[in-house]
Structure 1
Amino acid sequence: MKKRLMLIIIAVLLVSANPFNATEASAATPNELTTYAKKFTGTPYKFGGTTPSGFDCSGYLRYVFNNFDISLPRTSAEQYKIGTGVSKSNLKEGDMVFFSGTYKPGISHAGIYVGNGNFISASGSGVSIANLNTNSYWAPKYTGARRLSEVKNEATPVSKPALAAGQYYDVPKRFWAANEIKVLTLDGILTGNGSGIFKPNDHVSRAEAATIIARALDLKQVKGTTFKDVPASHWAAGNINAVKKAGIVNGRSSGYFAPNESITRGEISKLLTMAYNLKSVASSSTKSFSDTKGHWAENSINALAANGVATGHKDGSFQPNANAKRAEYTAFVYRAIENN
C-alpha cells in the first residue's frame, strides 16, 4: 500500500512541472545561468557556506555553476585562475567577475555578471545585485573577469549528460530534500518531455495539493461544481470535489476554493492531518514553535510535529502563513505516508 501511494503522490506532484525521463537537458546558455543565479537573491551570507541555507561568494558560484555540470574550484582566488580573461568593456552575461581587498589582500570576492554593468554575488548583505561601475564599494575593488568555455552563446547550447535514476538537474545531491525526492521518484515511472527538471523551490497550488491527496487516498472523482471558482471544466475539479466531499478540505472563503493560489504550510498541515488522521500527543518531547500559538492551524501543526512529519525551521519557527515549496510538500507527504 505504501509503495502504491508513493507512486501516485510523485506522479501527481510533478504534473505541473516537466516530469523526469531525461537523457539531455535544456541548453545551458548564459541567460539560463544568470536566471538560475537570481533565484537565490536574498539568501543569507554565511562564511564557508555552500548551500541555499547560506552562501559565501565562491560557494555561491560553485553551487550555481554546478547546476549546469560546470565544476569550479572552492575559493575565489582559485576561480580567478580558470577560464579566459575578459576585459571590462567586453563583459557578457554569465562571466565571472572578481574583486580584491574586500577582507584580505588579493582576490577575495567573486560574482556573476548579469548584464548592464550589474553583477550578482553573495556578500555580507546576502545574495544581491550591485553595479560594477557605480557602486562605491565594489567599483574600486573590481579586478577582472573570466569566461568559461562551457557557457556557450545562445546559438551553441551545451548538452548535459544523462541523469541517473531518481536525479534531477535542479536537485543537487546535497539538497536537503534530495533523498525524499529521489525515493519517491524511484518508486514510480515518470514520463514527459525529458527535461529532468523538478523545480523544488516553486510553490504548490491548492489544486495540486488537493489532487495529490485525492489520488493518494484513492478517492473517486466527483463531477460537477462544488466551488464557484472551480468550474466542472477545471483540470482538478473532480479531485477538489472529492476531497471536499470527504471532509478533508474546505475553501478559503465561503463558496470559493482559490485553486490557483499557492497553498500555505498551515493549510498543508491541516490537509495532511485530516487525510491521514494524525493526532497530537502532548509530551515533554513534543516540539513547539515560536509562531504558531493561537494560529488557526496550531493543532494540525502540532500533530505533524508529534508524528515527525514537520520539524520547522532552525530559528524555532514554523512559518504557517508562508507558501509551501514543492520540495517541502514532497518531504511532508513522504513522511506522512511513511508514518501512516
Structure 2
Amino acid sequence: MKKRWLIPVFASFMIFTSPIVDAEAATTQELVATAKQYIGVSYVWGGTTTQGFDCSGFTQKVFADLGYQINRTSAAQYAQGTPVSKANLKVGDLVFFNTSGNGVSHVGIYIGNNQFINSSSSKGVSIASLDNSYWKSRYVGAKRIVDFSKAAPEVKPAAVDFSFYASREKVALRLAEGLGLDTSNTNSPFVDIKPTDSVAGAATALHQLKIFEGNEQGKFNPNSPITRAQMAKVLVVAFNLQPTGKAVQFHDVPQNHWAYDYITILAQHGITIGKGNGLYGPNDYVTLTQLETFLSRATNR
C-alpha cells in the first residue's frame, strides 16, 4: 500500500504534531481486522515484528500495514494527531496510559465499545477495556491520527464473473510469475493494497518497472477487471516490445485511440490476432483464457 508519512519535519529534537489524515483511509473494519490478526503475539520490549511487539511497536505495525507511518514510541505517538476526549473516541484512535509514573508510557488502539487492543507486558497482543480499574486509573488521553470512520468500503465491480474474466490482481500475479520478478518487497505504493495482501509483492515489483502505475487516486483496484486495451499496454511495457513496421489495422481501434500504438505493436508481434472480422475489442474484458494465451505468446515469441 502507498506509504503516507504522518511524521512532519523534525528540527533539532523538537517534534511537531501532524494533522489528521482521512483521505483514502482504510475502513474501520479493515483497521480492526488488521489489529486482531496479531492477537496472541507475545510482548517483547523493543519488539516491532510478529516475533514480539512492545506497545508502540504494535500500533506502528498495524498502521504500517494499512499504509501509514507513525512515530516509534508511545510518547512520540502522543505528540501526533489531534486530541480526542474519551467521550468522543472513534475506532482507530490511539489511547495512551501512564503505567510507569513518568508520563505517557503505554499505547493501544481503540476498537469501539470502550475496548482497545494493545500489546501488554502481561498478555501480549490482546483486547482490554477502558473500564478496567487498572487502565481507567492510568488513562492519559487519546489522539486521532487517521480518521478511519470517513473511509468508504471498497465497491467491487458488479456482475463480473472472475471465474471467467481476469482481475487486475490475477494479471499482476501471473505477469510477475512469467517475468520471474522478485516479489519479496510487499511495501506496495498503492493505497488499496496492504503489505499483507497476496498481490502486494507482485504489484510492488510491477510498479517499480512502471508496468502498473495505478489511477489518479493511487489505487491499483485489484478486484477490477482489465480491458483488452489496458492489457495491450501492460504487455508492451512488460516485454519491452518495439514496433516492427508491419501494417496492422483493427476497425474498432482508430489512430486517435489512446491504446492504438500498444494494440498495433501487440499485433505486429503476433501476440494478438484480434477477435476476427478485423476487430480487436479494446473495451472488452480480458478472459482468463486470453490472459494465458497472451502470456504464452509473449514469453515464447
Point out the structure with max Rg over C-alpha: 2
After TM superposition, the score normalised by the length of structure 2 is 0.45
Q: Greater relative contact order (Cα 8 A, min sep 6): structure 1 or 2?
A: 1
After TM superposition, the score normalised by the length of structure 1 is 0.40
